[in-house]
Structure 1
């Protein structure tokens, strides 16, 4: 069974519940772990490790994606995240990464946070 990371947009941070696993609520898309693993191990991992995020809730500042947990990505960090994923997609030419680029772009346009459910 493939391992997937899920990325979605949080419409209202007040409605977020860290004890709830609900990718459908955030209209998440799936990204195969193979892509994220490649990104981490082939040059862009250091960039992701500087991505300003929150682990599990907005009171726990973090840097990176919580690989096996929940990450909240604030709107102010999305341009940096978009640049990383765009750079990765230049190398991998992936429909999954294109969907993630589109999802990040929507969140930027709407000034919303994103959620990441790790594997």
Structure 2
């Protein structure tokens, strides 16, 4: 079967409704406007048929690469922590921090002085 344009399809449906409308009046009210719209679309489309879209190959993205000279740690081993920045003092071993805002806490506090969150003891 030959492919029909949208305008040609509407034109055919309009012709069917118009012929049916000669017998039953309400179909004539549907058929004549469809004939007019179909005729306009056939002229505007200029005979272009709908073609199925052409799909290209799926896009495959390359794997992310590390900058040259970056050592790759063996599996199951956590990477070593980098050196502390020179402007920060080292963190003492027994220091506590607020779980809500991250502020440093003194020993013996029940609430964070920065955000007021309850401190788990």
What TM-score do you get using the length of structure 1 for normalisation? 0.20
Higher helix share: 1
Higher strand share: 1
What TM-score do you get using the length of structure 2 for normalisation? 0.20
